[in-house]
Chain A
Amino acid sequence: QQQVKQSPQSLIVQKGGISIINCAYENTAFDYFPWYQQFPGKGPALLIAIRPDVSEKKEGRFTISFNKSAKQFSLHIMDSQPGDSATYFCAAWLSGSARQLTFGSGTQLTVLP
């Protein structure tokens, strides 16, 4: 079974700090690695994504780092803000697969003011 393993399950960071969430995958055929963000009472929404031929992608304060040889990728949130408090899911996408996405187990991030 295709799996994506995510850690930590929960994370508490002070305002202004760096939040780091890690994921590992098994299937080297995955084509894309997105991150989803979910606020309380809402469904998840796409935040940022990276292809496996790129080592890093940055969008504002959010950066994905990708290590193809280790089959790992991580989300870094720089200058974390209380408004970033949410649950974050990593995922892996396989083109040609009808089910499309396999999600990690999620990380509940709390940024303290």
Chain B
Amino acid sequence: DVKVTQSSRYLVKRTGEKVFLECVQDMDHENMFWYRQDPGLGLRLIYFSYDVKMKEKGDIPEGYSVSREKKERFSLILESASTNQTSMYLCASSLLGIEQYFGPGTRLTVT
């Protein structure tokens, strides 16, 4: 089975802190994604990566950056956390195709 793991299930950070969310997949997938999930807004794509060291902006990249130094690992960085970044963050990976495999999510609260 494909497994996508995220470093934390719950995080509480203060405004202005730098936040790292880590995602690891074990299926040698080229493509990895970061989404945020908010009620009524669905899954919004923040950034994605189709290869090591490659990244592309999604629909809402402002305030975020990403890093992919190894194929299995994709990190989301909040350079200076703000309260409007309080959300559920979901990581996913895939080969070319319609199926993306999601991690369990990280619920981030910024106070």
Contacts and interface: CB of A to CB of B under 8 A. Distances in A.
Interface of A: 1, 6, 9, 32, 34, 41-46, 49, 89, 91, 93, 98-101, 103-106
Nearest to B50: A98
B41 A105 contact: yes
A99 B58 contact: yes
What 6 A-B pairs come out closest when comparing CB atoms?
A43-B102, A105-B42, A103-B43, A106-B42, A93-B98, A46-B99
B38 to A, nearest CB: 9
Nearest to B4: A43
B80 to A, nearest CB: 26
Interface residues on B, range: 20 to 34
Contacts, number: 61
Interface of B: 4, 31, 33, 35, 40-45, 48, 50, 56, 58-59, 90, 92, 94, 96-105
Given A9-B40, A98-B56, A99-B45, A49 B98 contact: yes
Contacts of A100: 31, 94, 96-98, 100
Contact of A99 (B48, B96, B97, B104): B48
A41 B105 CA distance: 8
